[in-house]
Amino acid sequence: MSTDPASVAPLKIAVVGAGEMAQHHAASIRRLPHLGRVVAICDPSPSARARLLVVAPEAEQFETLGKALAARTVDLVHIVTPPATHAELTEQALRAGCHVYVEKPFVEDARTAAMLLSLAAERGLIVCAGHQLLFEPPSVLTRSLLPALGQIRHLESYFSFRVVPRNAEGSAPLRPDRQLIDILPHPVYTLLDFLARADGGDTTMEGLSVGPTGTLHALFRRGRASAVLVVTVEGRPVESYLRVVGTNGSIHADFVRSTVQRHLGPGSSGIDKLLAPYRLARQLVTTTTRAMAIRFFGRTRSYPGLVELFEAFYRSVREGKPSPVSGETILETVRVCEQIAGTLDRVLAAQPHDRPGPQTGPTVALTGGTGFLGKAVAASLIDRGYGVRVLARREPAGWDRVAGVEYVVADLGRSLAPGVLADCDTLLHCAAETAGGYPAHQLNSIDATRNVLEAAATAGVHQIVHMSSISVMAQPPLGGRVSESSPLERNSRELGPYAWGKTESEILAQRLAKDLGLGLRIIRPGAFVDYEHFDPPGLLGKRVGNVYVAIGSRRETLAVADIHFSARTLIWVMEHFAEAPPALHLMDPARPTKADLVQRLRSTNPDLRVVWLPRLILVPLSVLAVVAQKILRPRKPALNVAKTFARQRYDDRLIAELAPAIQAVSGPAPGARPGRAGSAGGPLAAAAAR
């Protein structure tokens, strides 16, 4: 007989790790006040503990789990730290007599998983892994429908996701291939759980193929049932689903939309084949509408299934029942993930990373070399015969590396080690924050510029090419045009964190170059685009579902910079440093109209509906938005949307004059070394002053 939750004291819980996922854990625990409460927060970062304390205000703070266990009684430990720390922390908690919940991935190898599960069994403790998808509504409903499905004959577990470029705090996350391994347990344990319900013997993996760019396929079999696992970082749209096929129909569980479509019955007659699409369409509309309504009215948190899993685990602990996620499931999931991770590592290690040709030029330092522009610049430099040293916040995945490039891990937001720029002739500074709020742009744009220029001065690097942005320029008087000599925007905070960070970075770069005796050339690009793989720039408009809202007039031109032309421009400025202009506005000399760009977007999105929002409507809407921001957030700067999307006219004569020479930058570089720093002179500099 189960115990009344209200009659037993809540479990005393310690949360180890105070990052974003720990916030979800603490919030979910608060929804189970009769079963558990957070009494300890463990994290070496005071600021991280302070953020988590907002969600769990009654908890005590500790730097480590050991200090928490020594200071107070703990019944259960939640481990929400990086995967490499899970094994040690789990063992520490178990030896202290605590039940343990471990976020996925449980641990990194099956041998360690088996040891921890054995230790828990010896001590009569319960271990649970973060398999919350099994407790989400789609899984629960699918399990309830299995009796009507007949015997399971086939399963498909599919997961496609976007790589996270940086964490919420702006710091570097796991590299892309490690993110794939980090997310892998979800589709694996979902598939294994339902495959275990098929008739037959043991589950075996009969085939595994891991591609060089983050897509894997695995084939499983259990008796007469087969299963396919597909996980990709490249596939779009983002999806997560499980399809179960039985002898009497099929079920499609969608974890992104939290819906289930079922096609039960043999479906072999002509009328069944005719009506089945309509039945499925009705289910899709009704279940999606219901799921969206629940999400809209706030009844679903960002991680559905987490509260339900916690509740099942806590009840198992209090009632002495087995864990809601069995040890066999945990061990088999770890074993499969370990095998896939090993195969992925071997595939990436086998990729050629050697220099494709001899180095004939000096070594160039490049920041932002793993980004959209940076990879194009690095590849072009290698083709020209230069040595390339990329400073990156993390080691790039194998599929993100450019052959022949030297990658050095360095956090530009902190002071750089003296040797990172040693033996470099030129620094191409392309790194900058592209998302997040003002603190992230302060750290990764402004502070990064200070640190990298000071390191360049210490290392004797005298040529700096600083990548700024066209967004730093002030709007000209009515009818005027913005040239390279026009003033910078004085109230850049009104344009948002990105423009503010870029403006302050350029001002700082100019001051430091003067103080430190560095040669500086500034490039101010428009919005980067890749015409070969077109993604619309933000200043064109915004996509909302299957509708694209384009801002302004169809006939307006937009300052965009093709990614390959931009890479050639940086290299041209580097190789002609002495004669290059102090500042250069980088944009397509034959600037496309907004209608041209929208048409290019529609060519790859034929079902997209385009709605044009004239400035006549945008301006009053922006005024109302500014007023609302000042009322709701009086201490924060108000973003002026109309100013952000304001039409600017640019004097593009200089870039048009240089374009033929820039386009000629291809293949091996000429024998001469890059031009040394000096005063900008010659006809090109004169053109910049016009």
Provide the pLDDT confidence category of residue 15 given band limits of 50, 70 and 90.
very high
Check whether residue 392 and residue 262 sit in a common domain: no
Q: Kindly state the average pLDDT of the residues 227-236.
A: 92
Strands of the sheet with 11-16, listed across from one edge: 60-62, 36-42, 11-16, 76-79, 99-102, 127-129
Cα 113 versus chain centre, distance: 29
* CATH code, domain carrying 205: 3.30.360.10
Check whether residue 565 and residue 432 sit in a common domain: yes
Domain count, the chain: 3
pLDDT digit string, tens, across residues 642-654 = 767 777 788 999 9
Poorest-pLDDT segment among 166-170, 193-197, 357-361, 506-510? 166-170
Check whether residue 147 and residue 269 sit in a common domain: yes
Q: For residue 611, is it within any domain?
A: no
Q: For residue 125, is it within any domain?
A: yes
Q: At residue 676, does pLDDT exceed 80?
A: no
Q: For residue 502, is it within any domain?
A: yes
Check whether residue 484 and residue 401 sit in a common domain: yes
- How many whole angstroms separate alpha carbon 356 and alpha carbon 347? 19
CA dihedral (101, 103, 108, 109) positive or negative = positive
Check whether residue 105 and residue 180 sit in a common domain: no
Q: At residue 45, does pLDDT exceed 50?
A: yes
Check: CB of residue 581 under 8 Å from CB of residue 675: no
The pLDDT of residue 594 is: 93
Q: At residue 301, does pLDDT exceed 80?
A: no
Check whether residue 154 and residue 262 sit in a common domain: yes
Percentage of the chain beyond pLDDT 90 is 64
Poorest-pLDDT segment among 327-341, 368-382, 642-656? 642-656
pLDDT digit string, tens, across residues 405-450 = 999 999 999 899 888 999 998 999 999 988 888 888 999 999 999 9
Check whether residue 516 and residue 504 sit in a common domain: yes
Provide the pLDDT confidence category of residue 532 given band limits of 50, 70 and 90.
confident
Q: Kindly state the average pLDDT of the residues 393-402.
A: 85
Q: At residue 687, does pLDDT exceed 50?
A: no
Check whether residue 252 and residue 398 sit in a common domain: no
Check whether residue 293 and residue 179 sit in a common domain: yes
- How many whole angstroms separate alpha carbon 674 and alpha carbon 666? 15
Q: For residue 412, is it within any domain?
A: yes
Q: At residue 109, does pLDDT exceed 60?
A: yes
The pLDDT of residue 681 is: 41
- Residue 423, sorted as left (phi over 0), alpha (psi -120 to 50) or beta, turns out to be left
Tell me whether the omega of the peptide bond preceding residue 105 falls within 30 degrees of 0, making it cis: yes
The pLDDT of residue 276 is: 83
- Residue 611, sorted as left (phi over 0), alpha (psi -120 to 50) or beta, turns out to be beta
The domain in which residue 56 lies consists of 9-129+307-322
Check: CB of residue 2 under 8 Å from CB of residue 315: yes
pLDDT digit string, tens, across residues 237-289 = 899 999 999 999 999 999 999 999 999 987 666 677 788 888 888 998 998 88
Check whether residue 190 and residue 74 sit in a common domain: no
Q: For residue 635, is it within any domain?
A: no
The pLDDT of residue 171 is: 53
Tell me whether the omega of the peptide bond preceding residue 237 falls within 30 degrees of 0, making it cis: yes
Q: Kindly state the average pLDDT of the residues 361-387.
A: 93
Token digits for 677? Answer: 């720093």
The pLDDT of residue 686 is: 40
Poorest-pLDDT segment among 121-135, 248-262, 369-383, 386-400? 386-400
Check whether residue 269 and residue 148 sit in a common domain: yes
- How many whole angstroms separate alpha carbon 301 and alpha carbon 210? 33
Residue 442: exposed, middle, or buried by beta-carbon count in 10 A (0-12, 13-18, 19+)?
buried
Name the average pLDDT for the chain: 89
* CATH code, domain carrying 662: 3.40.50.720
What residues contact 281, with CB distance under 8 A and at least 6 apart? none
Token digits for 650? Answer: 């640019």
Of the residues 322, 354, 385, the one at which a domain ends? 322
- How many whole angstroms separate alpha carbon 134 and alpha carbon 129? 11
Q: For residue 328, is it within any domain?
A: no
Provide the pLDDT confidence category of residue 310 given band limits of 50, 70 and 90.
very high
The pLDDT of residue 172 is: 56
Check whether residue 418 and residue 386 sit in a common domain: yes
CA nearest to 585, candidates 491, 489, 500, 658: 658
At residue 671, the 3 state secondary structure works out as coil
Q: For residue 241, is it within any domain?
A: yes
